[in-house]
Amino acid sequence: MTIFWLLVAALIALGGVVIAVCLSIIGFKLNYHLNRNGLAIQWGVCRQRIPLNHIEAIIPGDVLEEPIQFKGFNFAGLRIGWGQTEESERITFRTTAPLEKSLLIVTPKKIYVISPQDRQAFLQAWQDRQTLGPTQQWQEEVRRGWPLTIGMLSDPLSWWLIGVAALICLALLGYVSIRYTNLPPSLPIHFNNFGQADRITDKINLFTLPAVGGIALGINIILGGLIHHREKVAAYMLLGSTVTVQIFLWIAMLTITI
């Protein structure tokens, strides 16, 4: 049981470290570039493009009277998330400053909250560029860089299959950890035609089953990611087979321990 909880704690700690590192990278790379084509907001490996002719207004955050409900990450001043006004307007936050020190970029689709170092200089640059024609036709969109360009990472069904397989595998590890102290030192794993055990193994080897499940999950995630952009169905079959493998491992475990 102790092994299981140590592993769970390690996974939680690893997840926390990964999130903190990702947010730190986003914070360090967050910048705003305004040119005659529009505004580009760089955050992490993503770039939000807003055409200049889509910007209806730029409003200083300190003149707002109605509150904005923020939802998302608020990490060491970095605010990455979304919000909503009382009038149900959608707001996207990409800022490192409080709302009163930020600017609101208003477009027909939504509102973007940004925090350039010099708000007045940014406003002046926006006004100066309004009379200039664009050199490129931008779309209001998010452009993603690697690894977010891997199709499987933006596929909800893939995440669902991976999550189910991982949950079953982790549950199997938990089951072994809970039952471990109450099991005999050696366990039969195979019987002959007369019902006699002809293969016996130490109970520590039971941890091989969740390990096999974890390895199968990792391999199929890699293979699925490589073929997802060409053959989605094949990728789904790989990930689905991982769920099947976890179920058979559970059956094997219950056969041995019950």
pLDDT(216) > 60:
yes
- The count of other CB atoms within 10 Å of the CB of residue 129 is 18
H or E segment to which residue 210 belongs: helix 208-227
What does residue 199 show for φ and ψ, rounded to 5 degrees? -135, 125
Question: pLDDT per residue over 24-70, tens digit each?
Answer: 777 777 888 888 888 898 887 788 898 988 888 888 887 777 777 77
Task: Say if residues 31 and 42 touch (Cβ distance below 8 Å).
Answer: yes
Q: What is the DSSP letter of 176?
A: H
Cα dist. 89→84, 92, 102, 105, 108 in Å?
5, 10, 17, 12, 10
Q: What is the dihedral of CA 34, 38, 42, 48, to 10 degrees?
A: 160
Question: pLDDT per residue over 84-134, tens digit each?
Answer: 776 656 888 888 888 888 888 888 888 898 888 888 888 888 888 888 878
